[in-house]
Amino acid sequence: MTADGLEKCLGNLAARLWGAEGVSNLTRLSGGASQESWDFVVGDERYVLRRAPGGQSTPRTGTAVPLATEAAVIARARALGVVAPEVVYVLNEADGMGPGYIMRFEDGETIARKILRDEAYAKARPKLARQCGEALALIHKIDASGIEGLPELTAANQLDLYFDLYVGFDEPRPVFELAFRWLKERPPESEKTTLVHGDFRNGNLMVVPDGLSAVLDWELCHLGDSMEDLGWICVNSWRFGQSENPVGGFGSYGDLFSGYEAAGGGSVDPALVKYWEVFGTLKWGIMCMLMVSAFQSGADRSVERAAIGRRSSETEIDLLNLIAKD
């Protein structure tokens, strides 16, 4: 569908929902290869449309949930007080734009390096780790009953999933073998099944000069071990060079855990968080390899897709730093 076609469909929708005469300033937002985001204005209000690429309802990659499921989870998160986008409408077939939803536009920074370095966020940075802990505690309290399309992904399930992917590449990586073994020998014991965000990391968080303003990118949400989210935001790749601050490059484990506990998330076992940090590091390494397959198959011939394969080695060094010290 062309931007013109999309503008017409959105115009019809705006007329029906808000009695408005069309939409204006329709612009595609950059970023997000798996989703399309469009910014547009209706009257004095600014909105964002998030939909499948090209409006095609083809099966989504990996473990991503349907867009309607994502919208339902975000609505429940907001109801519990999680800072998250306000979903105003979920698309249906008659809207002619494919699966997706419309949310109210929010202004804030999502580019990790700017959040970590710009003066504008100097006052926000020291607060972020604790705010992330608080947000995660609330996310893990979401009652997901009745929401369709949420997969249950335990540590063991996911380990099998990523091991199969790795074996499929037929490329020996001794460090990954070591990490798989390390994880298999330490199945997390106190696995508490909750709703898990699945991609809670620096880069998917919106920040304003005051602190955390919205948790974004809910497409990988699932049912699983709550500690998965705490480990993922500590993966060194998401520290963007600020390794000394384990939480997203901006904060300490202590602040993350105390925010989580204070907001009623329950006590945090650092060993479990480390398990998931190792897991997340390995997972990111395999995802880098997966993105190269998209390049090699011809699905995406960009230099960026090709080059990301060379970021797998960064996860190998991180894995050794995590499991092979002393």
Answer for the pair 180, 163: CB distance below 8 angstroms, yes or no.
Answer: yes
User: Which of 93, 326 has the CB closer to other proteins?
Assistant: 326
- Looking only at residues 228 through 257 of this chain, which bind other proteins when binding is defined by CB under 8 A? 236, 239, 241-243
**Is 321 among the residues that bind other proteins (CB under 8 A)?**
yes
**Is 181 among the residues that bind other proteins (CB under 8 A)?**
yes
**Is 299 among the residues that bind other proteins (CB under 8 A)?**
no
Dist CA 7 CA 175 (whole Å): 49
User: Which of 226, 312 has the CB closer to other proteins?
Assistant: 312
Binding residue for other proteins, selected from 121, 180, 200, 218, defined by CB under 8 A:
180
Answer for the pair 159, 225: CB distance below 8 angstroms, yes or no.
Answer: no
Q: Please report the DSSP string for 15-77 in residue order.
A: HHHH--S--EEEEEES--SSSEEEEEEETTEEEEEEESGGG--PPPSTTPPPHHHHHHHHHHH
Helix pair angle (270-296, 312-323), 10° resolution: 160
b/e burial code for range 193-215 (CB count within 10 A of at least 16 → b):
ebbbbbbbbbbbbbbeeebbbbb
User: Which of 180, 250 has the CB closer to other proteins?
Assistant: 180
> Alpha helices of 140-187 — where are they, by DSSP H?
155-169, 174-184
Smallest distance, other proteins to C-beta of residue 160, A: 14
Answer for the pair 133, 259: CB distance below 8 angstroms, yes or no.
Answer: yes
Smallest distance, other proteins to C-beta of residue 291, A: 13
Answer for the pair 127, 211: CB distance below 8 angstroms, yes or no.
Answer: yes
User: Which of 94, 303 has the CB closer to other proteins?
Assistant: 303
Q: Which stretch binds other proteins (CB under 8 A): 2-10, 41-49, 131-139, 178-186?
A: 178-186
Q: Which stretch binds other proteins (CB under 8 A): 33-41, 43-51, 67-75, 307-315?
A: 307-315
Dist CA 230 CA 273 (whole Å): 6
For the chain, the residue count is 326
Smallest distance, other proteins to C-beta of residue 304, A: 5
Dist CA 176 CA 287 (whole Å): 13
**Is 69 among the residues that bind other proteins (CB under 8 A)?**
no
Smallest distance, other proteins to C-beta of residue 236, A: 5
**Is 317 among the residues that bind other proteins (CB under 8 A)?**
yes
Lookup: tokens for 28 = 């595609």
Smallest distance, other proteins to C-beta of residue 281, A: 9
**Is 306 among the residues that bind other proteins (CB under 8 A)?**
yes
Q: What is the size of the binding site for other proteins (CB under 8 A)?
A: 31
Q: Which stretch binds other proteins (CB under 8 A): 56-64, 68-76, 82-90, 172-180?
A: 172-180
**Is 288 among the residues that bind other proteins (CB under 8 A)?**
no
Q: Which stretch binds other proteins (CB under 8 A): 5-13, 14-22, 146-154, 298-306?
A: 298-306
Look-up: residue for tokens 């609330």? Answer: 138
User: Which of 29, 262 has the CB closer to other proteins?
Assistant: 29
Edge-to-edge strand order for the sheet containing 24-29? 24-29, 36-42, 45-51, 100-104, 87-90
Which residues are at the interface with other proteins (CB under 8 A)? 30, 172-175, 177-178, 180-181, 236, 239, 241-243, 302-304, 306-307, 310-311, 313-314, 316-318, 320-321, 323-325
